[in-house]
Structure 1
């Protein structure tokens, strides 16, 4: 594990419960996760998978749900075979969403191999948190 962490965060003008719904609803996940179908039951210890196509290549990423505190915290591991790395624990990232007062959403991804990898991840996660913000603020 490296100590290099990618961080993306934003303030959202919506209640934490609405943001939580955006982060966990099957209807929203496909838009948040760049078109992937996300499957999980959001129970600690359960698998999570992302299935889709990236630049014409089919893929299935996978991970495990680590923590679920509705309206506050969601954490899971993530591994993508598209990285070309072996499917071993040290090649998994931990993705953590933290919601705090006044609905501040922070996403972190640990175990980045380099500052460049962390920057690439941060750019991607900034897009995702912006989508969460848009979806939560536009919900009825």
Structure 2
């Protein structure tokens, strides 16, 4: 059984700054477990989150790219391996009076499995670290 996991934070940063934080490899590395995206950001193009050695830890395909509002890609954690473990990450940025609201939806999380629990913990940490980074800027 799969489940959607939804995480939402309010940040003091403008949507343009939040967008840069989602797409700039050097910034992403600061909150995404030391990995950074390698992609052209074209819809249908591959995306890899690579570590400092250049090894892909997460692979997928870009599904949406609408600056500065929506970004989505499929998600396969290479340490689990099987393509049927694929989920997708959907980011939405909305302007607010005090900055931006960022919503991360992880679709296809495997509810009740070790992978699902680890993915849920990882997604929560990513959005919390992103909030911290943007609020400190």
TM-score of Structure 1 vs Structure 2, range by shorter chain: 0.7 to 0.9
User: Is the 1:8–1:122 Cα contact (8 Å) retained in structure 2?
Assistant: no
How high is the TM-score relative to the length of structure 2? 0.83
Instruction: Give the one of 119, 122, 125 matched to 1:124.
Output: 122
Question: RMSD across aligned C-alpha pairs, in angstroms?
Answer: 2.0
Structure 2: 5+ residue stretches without partners: none
> Secondary structure of 2:51's match?
strand
Give the drift of 1:119.
4.4
Give the drift of 1:110.
1.1
Instruction: Give the one of 92, 95, 107 matched to 1:98.
Output: 92
The match for 2:34 is 35
> Secondary structure of 2:72's match?
strand
Distance in 2 of aligned mates of 1:119 and 1:82: 15
Does 2:106 match 1:109? yes
User: Is the 2:71–2:90 Cα contact (8 Å) retained in structure 1?
Assistant: yes
Relative contact order (C-alpha < 8 Å, sep 6+): which is higher? 1
Structure 1: 5+ residue stretches without partners: none
The match for 1:45 is 44
User: Is the 1:66–1:76 Cα contact (8 Å) retained in structure 2?
Assistant: yes
Give the drift of 1:81.
2.4
More strand by share: 2
How high is the TM-score relative to the length of structure 1? 0.81
